[in-house]
Chain A
Amino acid sequence: MKNIRNFSVIAHIDHGKSTLSDRLIEYCGGLSAREMSEQILDSMDIERERGITIKAQAVTLNYKKDGEVYQLNFIDTPGHVDFSYEVSRSLSACEGALLVVDGSQGVEAQTLANCYTAVDQGLEVVPVINKIDLPQSDPDRVKKEIEDMIGINSENAPLVSAKTGEGTEELLDMLVRDIPPPEGSPDAPLQALIVDSWFDPYLGVVSLIRIKNGTLNTGQKFKIFTTGQSYLADEIGIFSPKKKKTKILSAGEVGYLVAGIKDIKGAPVGDTVLEYNDETTEALPGFKKVNPKVFASLFTVSSEDYEKFRDALSKLILNDSSLVYEPEVSDALGFGFRCGFLGTLHMEVIRERLEREYDLDLISTAPSVQYEILKTDGTVLKCDNPSQMPVSNEIDEMREPIVLVNVLTPNDYVGNVITLCTSKRGIQKEMNYFGAQVSIIFEMPLSGVIVDFFDQIKSSTKGFASIEYSLIGFRASDLTKIDILINDQKVDALSMIVHKSFSMMKAREIAKNLQKLIPRQMFDVPIQVALGSKIISRETVKALRKNVTAKCYGGDISRKKKLLEKQKKGKKKMKQLGRVSIPQDAFLNYFSSQD
């Protein structure tokens, strides 16, 4: 056990975590050069395309040094704020964390937040300066920043270039020296933490586990603490990074477990694995249940796909316990699901996975936060769906979720950041200088953070600023619901809750946007935005004059047929609202209305 090191890597997106991981795998001989051609750990298509890691993954590597063989268990963590919950899960299986900072950029807000989580969980944090091959790299400045902002000694931080491989050995030596081996005893009764569980179509549920005490053998009978259900360990093993069966997992080790469990609820993340007949050993501390922050409804374009959609969601949730959903019926869009997400990126990823992996065409409504509504009868209602908001005379007070946002920006952009945050109703609370960087803390409505805020903060600081936020509570606010009518028909799924001071601007934007997005039809299509019964904005999609009809020559109808086929396909991607065909994009106009 003294040669086991369990660690995570904390890094901001683009600071080179995946490349560094690959280097470590390569250095320890986990894969051949050819197999290294793609980055290993980001295995989902969407992860690779977006350059983010969504699900935590684990790799076991052997590092030989001075006649000793060290088992390095490396648990990957997502780098995006939407997935911070997965980070704390990964960290709980580790004794240490590598803090990877881009030597040309410096510490970012999200890194800071994850680092605090690691320190809170008692992990040894080892700083590493990456990308030293870049000419603009300034390791001394970054080291000072780490010390100033996080308060850990970074004097001896290894300087590496994941790209060239420089410094890899030094890093591994530091890792083995500074990160403590796991505690616990192989002779004690079995006690293992389920770090993650996912559904594999061939194996059933696969769980990533960290053995805290005792051992788990192939064929051994065990039970899950909360459910009390017993299973046989059909297969156990490690990822090296290829899946590799082993006979035994022992205290301190990290590996996978397959036990013929059909439903992910049978192996809940954060639960404890015990001997099947052990009534005395206690459960390990689990994970805080994650609450979704962003809500949106998803509907299929074609109502025939509803069953397929339901099936897809039930499969998807097997791998993503942070997604919640319940059935919803919309007057305009029919049957669908109201879904809760960790953030808008999570929402986009889920939607894309549903469309790609399950071949669905989906309509997503504008994302909303969850509001608290104090009704006139004294009850408090949680409402995350504008179409379910009570009528105004039943509402005594509307309260919205407020977050504390920490923006970390270079000095030069302080003005831009303050302007942007103020426009989102942010109130500045604190400002601290760390060398060239400034940390500004705002109190802001969550609704201002979930849509486009990341992109806007990036574009107003040339990409240098980063943000991190946490929920601090609900606050009474002057909120109102705006409704959208298309061709005189109210489209419940397009309603949204906005601050009153923004309602006119928003209404104009929405109407203009829908006018652009809705294709011309055979008749005029009025678009109206209403506040209560009052129309506050109006646009018209002018009727199309006619179809273009071409000459048909020599009995060749093939070209015309192709055209009609294309039109039919296009129409299938549109939602029929009465006589009006509306493209998928129109429902997401909340996003595009910010331009």
Chain B
Amino acid sequence: MKALEPSNVPISLYIHFPWCEKRCPYCDFNIETDKKDGDEELLLLAILKDLDDSHEYIGNRKFKSLYFGGGTPSLISVKIIEKIINRLNEKKLLEEGCEVSFELNPKEVKEDYINNLVSIGINRVSIGIQSFDANTLSSLERNHNKNDSIKAIEIASGVETIDTTIDLIYGVMGQSLESLQKDIEVFCSYEIDHLSMYQLTIEPNTIFYKKELHLPSDVLIESMEDEAKEILNTNGIYQYEVSSWSKDAKKSRHNMNYWMYGDYLGLGPGAHSKITTKNSIKRMIKLKTLNSYIKNPAKTLDTFIDSDSYDLDLAMNLLRIKGGVSFEEIEKSNIYIPDSFLQKRLKGIEDELLEADGFRATQIGYKFLNDTINLFN
């Protein structure tokens, strides 16, 4: 593969906290439900050590965004988060104006808590609402209700220095078009600039996978998507990625970095990294269980993206961006485009799955994104 120049590639940081109170039936993330006293301190030490040992991946770059995800990061005391941010600041690893996101469950959004987060440098919160509808929440076995969610939104959106995003889910058993409509109308009634809206997918190794579920038909799901788009667009919220919607200037910088094929470092159990090296792209996964990670934070399972797998690796990220990427942006972001990639793009244009300008899926190509991406497989 062509020699790549890592120092020109933007980089973000993701930090994983594995604990949840319980496992949600649709969740296949790397989580643990048995948090013990002292665990978070041990994890903190491991993360800090991991960060110190990651110099070779970071080089002289600074992180353009930082994301605390999980699991449920809000189960962690703010002090732990603070120590991590302090260490990053000491090492001067955060870019000026760095986007720092933090995930919470609605029940944990309290005024004091949010103020504490703000004081340590968090400037964006993501609240896992999923739905305002009691039936949908019960199908998903979530342990919060509509009131918890409304309160959380009111508190978070009341703090001027932070941006708020919420998660909504559709295609849930028993969910009607009207119920999703209502969810979105509630969202639109608040001054929130960002929404993560995704279809329920049943993944292997989840509780739902073993059950017989009556999911809505694909016709209903399509009308849900159409209806959601209608309402959101009317309210000035536009889709910019498969499951991301926002007001124009409020795209998540952290997520955009994934889709724009930026580098990212992941710290914490099972965290994923993508690092550009001189002659290939290296994808790494940390050890999955808490204990194995704490014992050996630097250890990773590596996959190297070579010229055979590069086209797919790149396309499955770039093509998620709704508006596509222009060739100027590709060049500006130091994204390497091999000839084989351009050949496959031409086939996509011929099949009317890709637009002839820049790199972007057509309307039909975006509906059938898997097929479009498979052009590069």
Contact = CB atoms under 8 A, between A and B. Distances in A.
A564 B370 contact: yes
A289 interface: no
B221 interface: yes
Contacts of B242: 549, 551-552
B258 A552 contact: yes
B364 A561 contact: no
Contacts of A429: none
Contacts of A553: 29, 69
Given A522-B368, A546-B222, A558 B272 contact: yes
A contacts with B: majority SS: loop
Contact of A557 (B316, B371, B377): B316
Contact of A567 (B16, B199, B271, B370): B370
B86 interface: no
Nearest to B255: A552
A352 B14 CA distance: 51
Given A552-B258, A564-B373, A546 B271 contact: no
- Looking at A551, A559, A564, the one whose CB has the most chain B CB atoms below 10 A away is A551
Nearest to A522: B368
A561 to B, nearest CB: 7
A552 to B, nearest CB: 7
A565 B370 CA distance: 11
A554 B316 contact: no
Interface string A554-595: 111111110111011001000000000000000000000000
Interface string B291-325: 00000000000000000000011001100100000
Interface string A136-164: 00000000000000000000000000000
A547 interface: yes
A522 B377 contact: no
Given A544-B218, A564-B374, A556 B272 contact: yes
Interface string A513-544: 00000000010000000000000000000001
A522 B364 contact: yes
B277 interface: no
A547 B371 contact: yes
A550 interface: yes
Interface string B64-88: 0001010000000000000000000
B219 interface: yes
Nearest to B312: A564
Given A567-B374, A568-B377, A546 B368 contact: yes
Contacts of A558: 272, 283, 285
A548 interface: yes
Contacts of A565: 377
A564 B377 contact: yes
A545 B218 contact: yes
Nearest to B266: A555
Nearest to A555: B272
Given A545-B218, A549-B199, A554 B370 contact: no
Interface residues of B, number: 41
Interface in A219-262: none
B287 to A, nearest CB: 15
B7 interface: no
A550 B320 CA distance: 11
A249 to B, nearest CB: 57
A564 B373 CA distance: 8
A547 B373 CA distance: 11
B272 A554 contact: yes
Interface in B218-276: 218-219, 221-222, 225, 242-243, 258, 264, 266, 271-274
B219 A545 contact: yes
Contacts of B218: 544-546
Given A557-B317, A558-B285, A549 B274 contact: no
Contact of B201 (A548, A561, A568): A548
B367 interface: yes
A555 B264 contact: yes
Contacts of B29: 553-554
B377 A554 contact: no
A564 B274 CA distance: 19
B341 interface: no
A555 B14 contact: yes
Contact of B198 (A551, A555, A564): A551
A561 B308 CA distance: 14
Contacts of B274: 555
A547 B317 contact: no
A533 B343 CA distance: 41
Given A545-B222, A561-B312, A554 B373 contact: no
A291 B67 CA distance: 74
Contacts of A551: 196, 198, 242-243
B120 interface: no
A365 B282 CA distance: 47
Contacts of B272: 554-558
B24 interface: no
B259 to A, nearest CB: 9
Contacts of A556: 272
A557 B14 CA distance: 14
A104 B96 CA distance: 89
A563 B369 CA distance: 13
Contact of B221 (A545, A555, A559): A545
Given A547-B370, A549-B242, A554 B69 contact: yes
Nearest to A559: B203
A557 B264 CA distance: 13
Interface in B335-377: 364, 367-371, 373-374, 377
16 contacts: A522-B364, A545-B219, A546-B221, A547-B368, A548-B199, A548-B370, A549-B243, A550-B201, A551-B196, A552-B258, A555-B264, A555-B266, A564-B312, A564-B370, A564-B373, A567-B370
Interface of B: 14, 16, 28-29, 67, 69, 196, 198-199, 201, 203, 218-219, 221-222, 225, 242-243, 258, 264, 266, 271-274, 283, 285, 312-313, 316-317, 320, 364, 367-371, 373-374, 377
Interface of A: 522, 544-561, 563-565, 567-568, 571
The 6 closest A-B pairs by CB, nearest first: A551-B198, A547-B370, A546-B367, A550-B201, A545-B222, A545-B218
